Amino acid sequence: MSVMIKVGILPKALIAALIGGVTGGTAGMWSLRQPAARTTRSTSLQTPIEPTTQPVPAHTSAAVPSSSDQSQVLQRARTLARRPDVTALLALRDDVVRRATEHGLAGSSSVKDELDELDLRLNEARMLRLKLDAEELRKVSDARPGSPTRPTE
């Protein structure tokens, strides 16, 4: 009797895994098609992991970028890196490139410095996201019944 149960469960489990994978992949691809501006607006509603002492503006002014605009962008980048919100950081970087191109400042050293700082924050956010995802994955795999226990380090 137990052999028949196992034989009946295995194909159903494989079908469920296949359907779940296709559904998850479709949802992931669909989410990538959404415009970055829409993603940025939704992430501004999230609360940061660490409280900040000053508010972070959603957008900087459309005029020629000043040093205060640059400092606001970098403050926002630091906040997003602490969350870690990689998608919003990519949108912020794209916005800086777009504004610099519109104002004819794409090759200026201040814009290059700002982009270097944004790239640094983007790398920090990516590393933190990977670390958090790895911890979550460990928790899930350790919580599964029958999973091998790993020795503590």
Contact, 128 vs 81, CB < 8 A? yes
Q: Are residues 52 and 102 in the same domain?
A: yes
**What's the average model confidence in pLDDT over 105-112?**
90
Q: Are residues 27 and 55 in the same domain?
A: no
CA pair distance 37, 58, nearest whole angstrom: 11
Residue 152 within a domain: no
Q: Are residues 2 and 29 in the same domain?
A: yes
- Average the pLDDT over each of 29-33, 100-104, 149-153 and give the range with the smallest value: 149-153
Q: What is the pLDDT of residue 152?
A: 56
Q: Evaluate if pTM is beyond 0.85.
A: no
For residue 66, the enclosing domain spans 36-143
**Number of folded domains that form the chain:** 2
Q: Are residues 47 and 91 in the same domain?
A: yes
**CA dist 147 → 14, 42, 63, 142 (Å):** 19, 37, 57, 6
Q: Are residues 115 and 83 in the same domain?
A: yes
**CA dist 62 → 39, 102, 139, 151 (Å):** 20, 10, 45, 55
Q: What percent of the chain has pLDDT over 70?
A: 60
Residue 20 — pLDDT band, cuts 50, 70, 90?
confident
29-36: which pairs have CB atoms within 8 A and are 24 or more residues apart?
A: 36/87, 36/90, 36/91, 36/94
Q: What is the pLDDT of residue 5?
A: 57
Residue 57 — pLDDT band, cuts 50, 70, 90?
very low
